[in-house]
Amino acid sequence: MEKKGTLEINSISLEALERDFVEMEIPKYRAAQVFRWIHKYAAASFSDLKNIPGTLQTAPAAHFYISELTPMAERTSADGTVKYLFGLFDGQTVETVLIPEEDRVTVCVSTQVGCAMGCSFCATGHAGFVRNLSSGEIAKQVEYINKSSQVTNIVFMGMGEPLLNYGAVIGAIRLLNCEAGIGLGLRRFTISTCGIVPRIYQLADEQGQVGLAVSLHAADDQKRRQIMPIAEKYPLEELMAACRYHVRKTRRRITFEYVLIADFNDGLDDAAVLARLLAGLNCHVNLIPVNPVGGTCQRPDSKVVQCFARYLSQHSIPTTIRRERGLDIEAACGQLKQAAREVAHENTRSD
C-alpha cells in the first residue's frame, strides 16, 4: 500500500508545490509535472505519475497524500445529464452533475457535505451540515469528469453554500484556472449563493471575473423568511445593496434564481414586487418551477409560470424559464442543479 504523507496535495497551488519541492531537494520543474498529473489527469496514486521516476514518486508520497474521490454511482438521464455520487476519505458522499450540450459542457459541483442553510424546498438543506470540502476535493469533482468530457463551465450550485466555504472555493477556482492543470478561464466560473452579504462584497472586490448567481425566491422579506432562514440575518435591503455593488464593481450581469412555488410566490402580484425590486439592475432571472420535497410545496401550472415570465419580460427584466434537465435521474439536488445550464449560457454569452 502506498505510503501516505499528511498534506493533501490536491489543495496545494503550483507555486506552493514548487516551494515544497525545492525544500525537499526535488528539481522545481518536477512540481509542474506532478501538478499536471494530479489536476489534468486526476491521478489517484503517486504510482500513476508516469513520467516521474519512481525514486521521485517516493519523496512526495512521504509528505503528501492524494484526495480520495471514489465514483460510487453514476446515472445518465435520457437528455444526457449525468449525476455522479462520489465517496470521500471519511465515508461521506457528494453529488456532482455533468450537463453536456452542443457548445459547452457544464459541471455543477458541491462545496460542502450537506448544508446549514435549511432552505425549506431543498433536500440538501433538510439533511443539515456535515463538513466543508477542501479545495482539492472541490476541484477533483471537475477533474474526474474532465478526463472523459472536456469541461467548459463550472457552477458552484451543488450541495452546500459556497460562500460559507469561501477560501476553499476560491482555492479550487485557482487550481482549475492554473495552466498546468485544466486551465479554465475565470469567466467560466459562477458561484451561486443564498445571500451571504459580506462575502458578496468580498467576491466583488477580489474575484471580479467570477460570475454570481443569487437565490432570491421571494421579493419580500416576509415570504423569503418563510422558505429561507438566511433571510432573517440578511434582509432584502442589505442583499440588494450587495448585489448592486457587485454589478457596479464587476460590470457583470448578475443572475437571480427564483423557485416558483404554487400559491406562494407565483402570482402576478409577486411578479410585480420582483420587477420593482430588480428595476434598473443589470440582471437576468431564472424561473425554476419547484421540484416538490417531501410534499411540502407544489409546482405551479405551466400557464402560471408562463404568465409570471411574461410579466417580468414586459417590465424589462430578462427572464428564462428553466428547461428541465435530468429529471429522470433526480439531478435537481439542492433544487438548483438545473440552473447550471442557464447560468453557463449566461456566462458564455458575456465572455
Residues assigned a catalytic role: 95, 333
Angle at which helix 135-146 crosses helix 166-177, to 10 degrees, equals 40
Total residues in contact with ligand SF4, by rule CB under 6 A: 13
Listed ranges 82-90, 154-162, 201-209, 265-273: which one lies at the site for ligand SF4 (CB under 6 A): 154-162
Cβ atoms of residues 121 and 334 within 8 Å: no
Among 152, 255, 335, 347, binds ligand SF4 (CB under 6 A): 335
Nearer to ligand SF4 among residue 115 and residue 344 (C-beta): 115
* Non-local CB neighbours of 318 within 8 Å, separated by 6+ positions: 283, 284, 285
331 in contact with ligand SF4 (CB under 6 A): no
To ligand SF4, the closest distance from the beta carbon of 38 in angstroms equals: 28
283 touching ligand SF4, by CB under 6 A? no
Q: Which of 143, 161, 270, 346 binds ligand SF4 (CB under 6 A)?
A: 161
Which of 69, 109, 115, 138 touches ligand SF4 by CB under 6 A?
115
Q: Decide if 144 contacts 176 (C-beta within 8 A).
A: no
Q: Judged by CB under 6 A, which of 122, 182, 216, 278 binds ligand SF4?
A: 122
Given the rule CB under 6 A, which of 17-25, 119-127, 136-144, 338-346 is the region that contacts ligand SF4?
A: 119-127
Cell of 41: 489527469
Cell numbers for 299: 409546482
Position among 9, 49, 113, 117 found at the interface with ligand SF4 (CB under 6 A): 117
d(CA 259, CA 329): 20
Minimum CB–partner distance for residue 79 and ligand SF4 (Å): 22
Part in contact with ligand SF4 (CB under 6 A); list of ranges 23-31, 115-123, 238-246, 308-316? 115-123
- C-alpha 90/C-alpha 190 separation (Å) is 28
Smallest gap from residue 158 Cβ to ligand SF4 (A): 8
For residue 7, the minimal CB distance to ligand SF4 (Å) is 29
Asked if residue 194 binds ligand SF4 (CB under 6 A), the reply is yes
Closest C-alpha to 349, from 218, 211, 149: 211
- Is residue 340 within 8 Å of residue 141, measured between CB atoms? no
Measured CA to CA in angstroms, residue 291 lies from 53, 112, 298 at distances of 52, 21, 8
Task: Give whichever of 125 and 289 is closer to ligand SF4, judged by the CB atom.
Answer: 125
Is residue 261 at the binding interface for ligand SF4, with CB under 6 A as the rule?
no
Q: Using alpha carbons, select from 41, 63, 39, 59 the residue that is nearest to residue 50.
A: 41
How far apart (Å, rounded) are the C-alpha atoms in residues 69 and 62?
A: 20
**φ, ψ (nearest 5 deg) of residue 65:** -130, 155
Residues binding ligand SF4 (CB under 6 A): 115, 117-119, 122, 124-125, 159-161, 194, 334-335
